[in-house]
Amino acid sequence: MAKRIDVSGLSAYYGSAKAIEDISMTVEPRSVTAFIGPSGCGKSTFLRTLNRMHEVIPNAHVEGKVMLDDENLYASGVDPVAVRRTVGMVFQRPNPFPTMSIYDNVAAGLKLNGMRRKGDLDTLVEKSLKGANLWNEVKDRLNKPGAGLSGGQQQRLCIARAIAVEPQVLLMDEPCSALDPISTLAIEDLIGELKERFTIVIVTHNMQQAARVSDRTAFFNLAAVGQPGRLIEIDETERIFSNPSVQATEDYISGRFG
């Protein structure tokens, strides 16, 4: 089931450099939250702290708390691998496992979770590919390599792979930035469907996309180059785009900077 995220006092570092500072926000279940803001303000960094991917980078660390319902993802004893299973991620560049078939790309995570029976795997692979709106295009070539699909199809394959293991939260870092407009619309439609089951957070540089797909929008900014990024405001998307509380948000969305 989709879970609520509650972040408090979160800062993230690369070595001694603080990339984001003192971020607090909540994300409601079964909703889409968009992260917007100029390049370098820490959107990707913050996204990666939500499933403990940040600490994979050498010398990187996180301060603060990320609650997923009643569990602090940073409490001692929490297994980061289990966190990443619960909080899935889709990246900017579609990254299917290149030598694996379409089928195996989707089945890989299920197998890692111990699913062995072919019948069970078949059912879930089909369900995930249907969930990602890709089934009809690939059902006759499931054993062909994932790398042989178009960019938009590969991104939907990555979404199928991510949802196959039934995460509760899906993080997407500019998932459409490498795609053509038709594939982009396909992914946006898909996000609208997925939010009935998942809690979704998406980073985007496309203001129209944020306005189209998200329920709430968070604007991040940095005071100056070299300063850590901060959350400036988060609100209903409609409000952020019509009547934001902070002048910097208004300037950004109306294209006056960034």
Ligand X SMILES: Nc1ncnc2c1ncn2[C@@H]1O[C@H](COP(=O)(O)OP(=O)(O)OP(=O)(O)O)[C@@H](O)[C@H]1O
Closer residue to ligand X (CB): 18 or 85: 18
Residue 41, binding choice from Mg ion, ligand X, none, Cβ under 5 to 8 Å by partner class: ligand X
Number of Cα atoms under 13 Å in the Cβ half of residue 104: 10
* 3-class SS of residue 170: strand
User: Minimum CB separation from ligand X for residue 37, in Å?
Assistant: 6
Q: Give the nearer residue to Mg ion in terms of CB position, either 44 or 128.
A: 44
CA distances from 84 to 49, 113, 166 (A): 11, 12, 11
* Residue 121 or 158 having the CB closest to ligand X: 158
The whole-angstrom separation of Cα 103 and Cα 80 is 26
CA distance 227 to 25: 20
x/- mask, Mg ion, residues 44-83, rule CB under 5 A, reads x---------------------------------------
Residue with tokens 């990320």: 66
204 lies in the site for Mg ion, by CB under 5 A: no
Asked if 19 interacts with ligand X (CB under 6 A), we say yes
Pairing of strands 71-72, 32-36: unpaired
Q: Quick one: which of 11, 33, 45, 49 contacts ligand X (CB under 6 A)?
A: 45
The alpha carbon of 76 is separated from its chain's Cα centroid by a whole number of angstroms, namely: 24
Taking the C-alpha atoms of residue 129 and residue 136, their distance in angstroms, rounded to an integer, is 9
Which residue in the set 11, 13, 33, 43 belongs to the binding site for ligand X (CB under 6 A)? Answer: 43
Question: Residue 176: what residue type?
Answer: C
For residues 168 and 203, what is the distance between their CA atoms, to the nearest angstrom? Answer: 18
Beta carbons within 8 Å of 227's beta carbon, 6+ residues apart: none
Minimum CB separation of residue 225 from ligand X in Å reads: 8
Interacting positions 17-46 with Mg ion (CB under 5 A): 44
Determine, following the binding rule CB under 6 A, whether residue 57 of this chain makes contact with ligand X: yes
Nearest to Mg ion of 3, 43 (CB atom): 43
Among 41, 158, 232, 240, binds ligand X (CB under 6 A): 41
Binding site residues, ligand X, CB under 6 A: 14, 19, 37, 39-45, 57
Binding site residues, Mg ion, CB under 5 A: 44
